[in-house]
Amino acid sequence: SQQGEEDPQALSIQEGENATMNCSYKTSINNLQWYRQNSGRGLVHLILIRSNEREKHSGRLRVTLDTSKKSSSLLITASRAADTASYFCATDTVNSGYSTLTFGKGTMLLVSP
Amino acid sequence: IAGITQAPTSQILAAGRRMTLRCTQDMRHNAMYWYRQDLGLGLRLIHYSNTAGTTGKGEVPDGYSVSRANTDDFPLTLASAVPSQTSVYFCASSRGAGSYNEQFFGPGTRLTVL
């Protein structure tokens, strides 16, 4: 079963605008990761935020985590056409005593020139 | 270039046939994973291996088997393919087991079962 759920399912913006994607999850987590997937390609890791962190930055990316609301957001500032991709959040899940990642269904971002 | 390779890139398979999807990584990562990606369902974990010689079941393991004879290779076998196994399959690896590790993904195998 899915743990993280991204919102919106699809987002269309103009170059230069900011893009915000949200992820909600159901059970307590130790950390949350965001990944990006270009069409027809494998996923690429963007950023990991631990449960005791509230905000993290990486270049034009800003991730926030609110464990009380069980939600995270990914903000891409000053978007570019090259940011067009699907973005997934992934939360840790304990599976037979081992921790694995459970991915959401993704947000498809389209950045128009 | 270090990374993960998957083969074949795509395959059309008759139902009932046996198929092995290959995955090889050259990063000496301990953990490896197989996911399937279906439209509207996102990525779902099929099987994983935390280290060579061990494997575990993920969310959707039925109809699939894996082996991890060495660090580099993690093949996924469909013993008798069914149309519901039509999907894009991704192999991934991470330095260590556990959710604090970044996962590196291969380019995927697009499988169609008719």
Q: Which residue of A has its CA nearest to B88?
A: A40
Contacts of B40 in chain A (CB under 8 A): 105
Q: How many CA atoms lie within 13 A of B62 on its CB side?
A: 2
* pLDDT at position A113 over 60: yes
Asked if B108 and A41 come within 8 Å (Cβ–Cβ), the reply is: yes
Asked if B43 and A43 come within 8 Å (Cβ–Cβ), the reply is: yes
A9 versus A5: the higher-pLDDT residue is A9
Tally of CB atoms within 10 A around A112: 11
* pLDDT at position A77 over 90: yes
Contact (CB, 8 A) for A41 and A55:
no
- Provide Rg for chain A, Cα atoms: 14
Number of H helices, E strands in chain B: 0, 11
A88 vs A22: CA distance, rounded Å: 10
B47 vs A13: CA distance, rounded Å: 37
- What confidence category does residue A1 fall into, taking pLDDT thresholds of 50, 70 and 90? very low
Asked if A106 and B40 come within 8 Å (Cβ–Cβ), the reply is: no
Residue B32 sits at the chain A interface (C-beta within 8 Å): no
As a whole number, mean pLDDT of residues A69-90 equals: 96
What letters, b where the CB count within 10 A reaches 16 and e where it falls short, cover B57-86? ebbbbeebebebeebbebbbebeebeeebb
Beta-strand (E) ranges in chain B?
A: 4-7, 10-13, 19-25, 31-38, 42-49, 56-57, 64-66, 76-78, 87-94, 104-105, 109-113
pLDDT beneath 70, residues of chain B: 1-2
Digit-coded pLDDT (tens) for A90-99: 998 766 666 7
Residue B39 sits at the chain A interface (C-beta within 8 Å): no
Asked if B56 and A42 come within 8 Å (Cβ–Cβ), the reply is: no
Coil/strand/helix, residue B101: coil
List, edge to edge, every strand of the sheet that includes B19-25.
B4-7, B19-25, B76-78, B64-66
Contacts of B57 in chain A (CB under 8 A): 95-96
Digit-coded pLDDT (tens) for B62-95: 999 999 999 999 999 999 999 999 999 999 999 9
Tell me which DSSP letter residue B102 carries.
Answer: P
Asked if B99 and A88 come within 8 Å (Cβ–Cβ), the reply is: no
Contacts of B106 in chain A (CB under 8 A): 42
B97 vs A35, A40, A98: nearest CB: A98
